With several copies, the nearest count.
Chain A
Amino acid sequence: MTVTVKLFGMLKTQLHHESELTVRLDQGCKVDDLIAAIQSMNPDVGDLLLKRKILVSVNHHIAHGETELTSADEIALLPPFSGGSCTSGERTSYVYR
């Protein structure tokens, strides 16, 4: 099956300036399998997914590795959130757009 994965923020830059990614997976695949597939495409992004610095959402819920996927699911990769205003003493890291 083919799943479409939405990309946001710095991930669009890191994954070839696309806002969506299409990934071929076996029927009955899990989020862990999706992460492995992305790891082989882009090891940096794969590592951030494994460390859960980037999260996977399925149908607007944060998913864990065992969550099963279907081609009807709305899947997204979520880099660290940075909404709100810059009002705390946060460390900041940057990725060029």
Chain B
Amino acid sequence: MSTVDAEAMLVRVQRENFSIDEEINRVRNRSTRIGGIATFLGTARDRSEDRDVSRMTFEYYEGMAQKKLREIRDRALQDFDVIEVLVLHRYGEIDIGENIVLIVVGAMHRADAFKACKWCIDELKQITPIWKCEHTPDGQMWVEQHP
């Protein structure tokens, strides 16, 4: 795989599920200097505040969402002492317990990996044009979250 292709795999919005082992290996394979890999995996919960949720649907703005995820990766690589960053978000219908979002950060030192990983998921929620619709007993609702 060329460098450009390998980099493209590090930022994706996709419908399909993903293997965490495979995604971690993309990061691990970038450097033998990596000693710690911090990962955040967001999964679909069956409750949202006081409502039961049976399923969810994610919609995204094609082009702009990928642009924002690339920005997040670039800024994490620049602002933290880390070696590689992977950012991946699914769209479409997602069942309870399934994977939604994955951040993987490889660094020499674990404290940097944790800091960058946490920053990426916090930032993703702030700036990425992705929207969630929850399927509840009262019907389907678009969710608006206020931190």
Are A and B in direct contact (Cβ within 8 Å)?
yes
Q: Is B92's CB within 8 Å of the partner chain A? A: no
Q: A88-B110, A89-B109 are in contact. Are A94 and B128 (CB under 8 A)?
A: no
Given A9-B133, A85-B100, A92-B145, answer yes or no on A76-B64 (Cβ-Cβ < 8 Å). Answer: yes
CA distance A2 to B87 in the complex (A): 37
Closest to B103 in A: A84
List CB contacts (< 8 Å) of B50-72 with chain A: 58-61, 63-65, 67
B20 at the interface (CB under 8 A from A): no
| Cα–Cα, bound, A90→B68 (Å) | 22
- The contact size tier of chain B is 35 or more
CB distance from A75 to the nearest CB of B (A): 11
Q: How many residues of A contact B (CB 8 A)?
A: 29
Cβ of B141 and Cβ of A82 under 8 Å apart? Answer: no
Cβ contacts under 8 Å, A16 to chain B: none
Inter-subunit contact B42/A76 (CB<8 Å): no
User: Inside 8 A of A92's CB, which chain B residues have their CB?
Assistant: 48-49, 143-146
4 residue pairs, one from A and one from B, having the closest CB atoms: A85-B42, A83-B130, A9-B131, A87-B110
- Can you name 12 extra interface pairs (CB under 8 A) apart from A74-B63, A81-B129? A57-B64, A81-B125, A82-B143, A84-B130, A85-B110, A86-B48, A87-B107, A87-B113, A89-B109, A92-B143, A94-B142, A96-B141
